[in-house]
A and B are shown apart, each in its own frame.
Chain A
Amino acid sequence: MTRATVASFLVPVLIIGGAALLALGNAALPPTAALHVSVFVISLVGKYLCYAMLALALDLVWGYAGILSLGHAAFFALGGYAMGMYLMREIGTRGVYGNATLPDFMVFLNWTELPWYWYGFNHFAFAALMALVVPALLALVFGYLAFRSRVSGVYLSIITQALTFALLLAFFRNNMGFGGNNGLTDFKDIIGFDLHADATRNALLLATAIALAGAFLLARYVVASRLGKILIAVRDTESRTRFLGYRPESYKLFVFVLSAIIAGIGGALYVPQVGIINPGEFSPANSIEAVIWVAVGGRGTLVGAILGAILVNFGKTYFTSALPDVWLYALGFLFILTTLFLPHGLVRVFSRARPSALPEPSPAKEHPA
């Protein structure tokens, strides 16, 4: 087995194994034990792993296809809203107003009927499907228009930023029907399990770890395939691929939609663990932070994106409680230092892989012997 193959099996094992150990430390050890893991930590790590999915999604498009999306958190947030809508409907009569059909904020706004786009969200399976379909559709339409018109580079980045900002403003409006400024919150349970129970939290952490590991393996397969090689070719030398007969726009569209789906799953898993989704998740700053995670960890490496998201967010948690005023400066410095001294990110420190964002050259590997 090559180093790359070892790494691609090691990463999922580490992610799922690590999450399982934490869950075990919470469930099996009494709260008095030294190694007991508090439910706070469980939810925190679950949140990091969701961010890692967003980072992985971003690395697919930025690292391998050269699409610097500054609006990727929009897909994450849309996935989150889809799950949030299910969790809202699941509250049922336990809401403040006790209305079986309408979520509290709709009753508060004197609405009498459920808007059509809330139909079906009382079913978990439907909501889970929408968490994939809605981000995918948005990516499909947006990507089709942008890539077909050959919008790229800085211009594309600016449009993605505008996209997430437009969604931010739209979701802030009360009459959009998504809870406006306050978003969706006060969730009670998910498919019948109490969201405030430790066991549910542990299960959510494990589910997130499995989803992240699966997304990683899928992304690895894609970038190591011939399609992945073409993506890298498009990233570096788009005109050459066109004169060879490839249509770069369809390759970009494929990876952009796949990436939006991964981000959407991340968002859907994020919402039950943090207990709220509001328009703030569409804020352009969130998308830019995700770019920093990927840059710090190592663009075009997949592993780096996951590592970067976890480490930077760990730092954020630490600094925002210990030295709240320093955090933004620390983040800024981190980005500058990485760009200056670790242009290929943290993973490059640990690996001698080529600085080309590439799976290792495959001498005859895929050739049937």
Chain B
Amino acid sequence: MSGAIGGISDTLLYLSGVSVSFDGFRALNNLSLVLAPGEMRAVIGPNGAGKTTMMDVITGKTRPDAGDVIFRADTDLTRLDEPAIAALGIGRKFQKPTVFEPHTVHDNLLLALAGNRAPHHALFARETRAERARIDELLAIIRLAEHRYRRAGDLSHGQKQWLEIGMLLAQEPDLLLIDEPVAGMTDAETAETARLLREINRTKSVVVVEHDMDFVRALDVKVTVLHEGSVLSEGSIEHVSADPRVIEVYLGR
């Protein structure tokens, strides 16, 4: 079966026996997954395997029918809503790049910066030197420094993906959930994104959902293969590509 599920003391994220049904369709079926602190994990699987539903469950968008979702050994995520989970340090990137299109790149990052989220604070907030310095850093990391005052809506598809990753970083999360970051990217942008994610992984844990096998190979991390809502195989990319069950799911039909 899947990789050893040890104690939850040395885990960042622990999913156990998670099931979700939508009108009788089991999107997640007894799914279990353990992520160590500092780990980067690639999650692959055919369409409908439950990859996005898994992210929905972790980020509080969807309540599971059964199972545990534990963050940092002691926080039950199934009891919290999206803003509370975001505040705990879990950031999420959507499949389709989702940025604030009418705002500049600068303002997108400004709104994403960790800080007080209350309306009365935002009403009187003035941009501080520290905030500006942090935005400078983020712009360098996501390579958008010269696009600072462009509307986010005017950026290319790949640049929007990077901006959204930058917004995630601005939240200062411990765990980043990234849904199909290279969909629609050129080869050069894909390679750059792999580099960017490895750089991010130096300080943060990352879960990447991706279809693009070359990209997953380039990440060179442990891979979890989902199928029909549960884990089909787990291990290195060589291990899972040699697994007969994985081959059957991907090529068998």
A residues whose Cβ falls under 8 Å from a Cβ of B: 222, 225-227, 229-230, 232-233, 236-237, 239-247, 250-251, 254, 354, 356-358, 361, 363, 366-368
Contact = CB atoms under 8 A, between A and B. Distances in A.
A247 B83 contact: yes
Contact of B122 (A230, A232, A239): A230
Contact of B123 (A227, A242, A357, A368): A227
Interface in B106-151: 107, 110-112, 117-119, 122-129, 132, 149, 151
Given A225-B123, A229-B111, A245-B83, A363 B100 contact: no
B48 interface: no
Contacts of A250: 118-119
Contact of B127 (A227, A232, A367): A367
B171 A244 contact: yes
Report the 4 A-B pairs with minimum CB-CB distance, sorted nearest first. A356-B102, A245-B86, A227-B122, A242-B82
Given A236-B101, A236-B102, A242-B82, A222 B123 contact: yes
Nearest to B90: A243
- Contact residues on B (Cβ < 8 Å of other chain), bracket: 35 or more
Nearest to A249: B83
B32 interface: no
A300 B82 CA distance: 28
A361 B108 CA distance: 12
B104 interface: yes
Interface of B: 59, 61, 82-83, 86-87, 91-92, 94, 98-104, 107, 110-112, 117-119, 122-129, 132, 149, 151, 153, 167, 171
Interface centre among B104, B112, B122 (most CB of A within 10 A): B122
Given A245-B86, A247-B117, A240 B123 contact: no
A230 B110 CA distance: 10
B212 to A, nearest CB: 23
A225 B102 contact: no
B86 A226 contact: no
